């Protein structure tokens, strides 16, 4: 089972409290057998000493009838969204999404601190696929939303290359505070990296 990432100990403790409360008077061993984990695994989860992986989290949700709460907290610990500055001309890993996650993901791009609004060319590279967008970015920014449609045995990093300094935030689903007019459906326009990159969206 994954260890607790540095700085996320309070989150692991909160997850453990949730599991203890949901288990109630049932024996840890009974829950472990129902979920299919080894002896003492649940004890470590409840004490915040380790984190269940995504598959085990889903089983805990089912057995403890927690309606996805365990999976949500585990994703927040193991795959946290983060703000990553992307300098000009460099290709950096922006996001590593859970390998078995299927659903909406996003990359929220905005001008870097101290920068004026500008037209920015953005290239997304995800495994064998890539696409290009030309966006007018300001301090509020624009979110590119698309779907992760295939499960995999390992995570494939999403990389971003930009023509101007920007800040990027990534995650699952979509931040609620972003207005709809700032969200772009980026599911179309992807091509294999062996092909010329299409210009999927041009917003000026």
User: In the prediction, which pLDDT does 78 show?
Assistant: 74
Beta bridge partners of 106: 145, 171
Question: Do residues 158 and 124 make contact, with C-beta atoms less than 8 angstroms apart?
Answer: yes
The burial of 179, by beta-carbon neighbours within 10 Å (0-12 exposed, 13-18 middle, 19 or more buried), is given as exposed
Percent pLDDT > 90 in the chain is 35
| CA proximity to 171, closest of 87, 83, 51 | 83
pLDDT the model gives residue 25? 93
How far apart CA 25 and CA 171 sit, in angstroms, is: 36
Name the stretches of the chain with pLDDT < 50. Answer: 204
pTM greater than the 0.85 cutoff? no
Domain ranges of the chain: 9-78, 83-202
pLDDT the model gives residue 81: 66
| Phi, psi at 194, each rounded to 5° | -75, -10
How far is Cα 154 from Cα 125, in angstroms, rounded to an integer? Answer: 17
- What pLDDT score was predicted for residue 204? 45
Q: Is there a contact between 198 and 132 (Cβ–Cβ < 8 Å)?
A: yes
User: Is the CATH code 1.10.287 the one for domain 83-202?
Assistant: no
Q: Does domain 9-78 have CATH number 1.10.260.40?
A: yes
pLDDT per position as a tens digit, 43-90 = 999 999 998 987 899 899 999 999 989 988 887 787 766 666 777 766
């Amino acid at each position: 089972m994954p260890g607790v990432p540095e700085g996320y100990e309070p989150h692991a403790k909160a997850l453990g409290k949730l599991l203890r409360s949901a288990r109630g008077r049932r024996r840890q061993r009974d829950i472990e057998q129902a979920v299919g984990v080894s002896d003492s695994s649940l004890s470590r989860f409840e004490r915040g000493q380790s984190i269940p992986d995504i598959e085990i989290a889903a089983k805990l949700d089912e057995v403890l009838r927690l309606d996805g709460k365990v999976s949500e907290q585990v994703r927040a610990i193991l795959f946290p969204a983060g703000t990553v500055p992307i300098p000009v001309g460099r290709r950096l890993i922006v996001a590593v999404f859970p390998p078995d996650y299927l659903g909406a993901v996003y990359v929220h791009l905005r001008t870097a601190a101290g920068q004026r609004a500008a037209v920015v060319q953005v290239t997304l590279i995800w495994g064998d696929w890539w696409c290009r967008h030309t966006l007018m970015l300001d301090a509020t920014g624009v979110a590119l939303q698309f779907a992760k449609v295939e499960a995999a045995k390992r995570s494939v990093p999403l990389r971003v290359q930009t023509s101007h300094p920007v800040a990027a935030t990534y995650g699952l689903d979509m931040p609620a505070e972003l207005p709809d007019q700032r969200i772009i459906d980026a599911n179309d326009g992807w091509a294999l990296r062996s092909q010329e990159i299409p210009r999927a969206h041009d917003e000026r």
